[in-house]
A = this chain, B = another copy of it.
Amino acid sequence: MGDPAGSGPEIVLKALMKRCLLSRANFVLVGDMGVFRRSAKTVGARGFRFAEIDEPVAATGEPEAVGVIDLRNVDSSELVHGKPSALGGRAAYDCIVKAVDYAMHGYVHAVVTAPISKESLNMAGYDYPGHTELLAELTDARKVKMMLVARHFRIVHVTTHVSMKEAINLVRKARVLESLELTDESLKDIFGIEKPRVAVAGLNPHAGESGIFGDEEVKEITPAILEAKGKGMNVLGPYPPDTVFYRAYHNKEFDAVVAMYHDQGHIAMKMVGLLEGVNVTLGLPIIRVSPDHGTVWGKAGKGSADESATVEAMKLAIELANRKYKLRV
């Protein structure tokens, strides 16, 4: 469900209104039935019916009645759309815990999460910067990381939501190596690529030109690449940041690019029109996919938030689950 005060429930329903999705998987909504019913009205999903179920196994998979695990955790009279709240944070948290629990026990094959708010979580007393850290804790995962995915174009960031100053300080051999290992491992395990080609972007312009424009490539990135190669990984670079993403996306030279900071990857992804970014969490024992955007507070309650990223997230979750569990190949 995501934060009920945000656009999450609405974009989930807008996405599910696409017949092509409902016919390809058995969806189970985890959240508050009242919120889903209200959201259905908001987004104009007239023909949409919900069936309250107790366990995921009870979901029939019929498009006419989407199964809902009703957590009854949102008092509609108290819900105010468009801003963070303890109510929203608590409800969003409950949904994640429940969905992850189902996935960990094998009751569902994958989890797609809707946007939550860090502020709401904090107001509810949960101190997590975002989904990733919470998911890691719930699944006992030691090393986790997000991968931004659009078909064959996959990007893993060594650093994300920190200042550029801090990002530079975090570009250290151990951290880069960890990103390389998680990327290589996940391309094999989650995406089924036997011998993944992983490109590494430099930090500095022209990847530093042998130390003329910064020494992080020489001191940190290249040593990490060499160590990864020593472990048998097919890791390439560091490449000039302004062409490596082009090569991955347009020329399909690599199966993933490891970017050093948030905007390297995000500028590249968005410039080619892939605004509907999708994240896959690497390092978890479960499949988890999410749209790469926030609660869209400004459109919450109006049904006008764009569901494209959620549609893509659902499609990818289906694809990855089918592969992992050999459901349909």
Contact = CB atoms under 8 A, between A and B. Distances in A.
Interface residues of A, number: 37
A204 B216 CA distance: 19
Interface stretch (A59-67, A178-186, A268-276): A268-276
Interface string A212-253: 011110000000000000000000000001110110011000
A160 interface: yes
A162 B213 CA distance: 5
A205 interface: yes
Given A163-B208, A165-B168, A214-B164, A243 B270 contact: yes
Contacts of A275: 243, 246
Contacts of A164: 164, 168, 203-205, 214, 216
Contacts of A242: 262-263, 266-267, 269-270
B213 A241 contact: no
9 smallest CB-CB distances across A and B, nearest first, come from A163-B214, A242-B266, A205-B262, A271-B271, A241-B263, A163-B213, A267-B267, A246-B270, A163-B204
Interface of A: 160-166, 168, 203-206, 208, 213-216, 241-243, 245-246, 249-250, 261-264, 266-273, 275
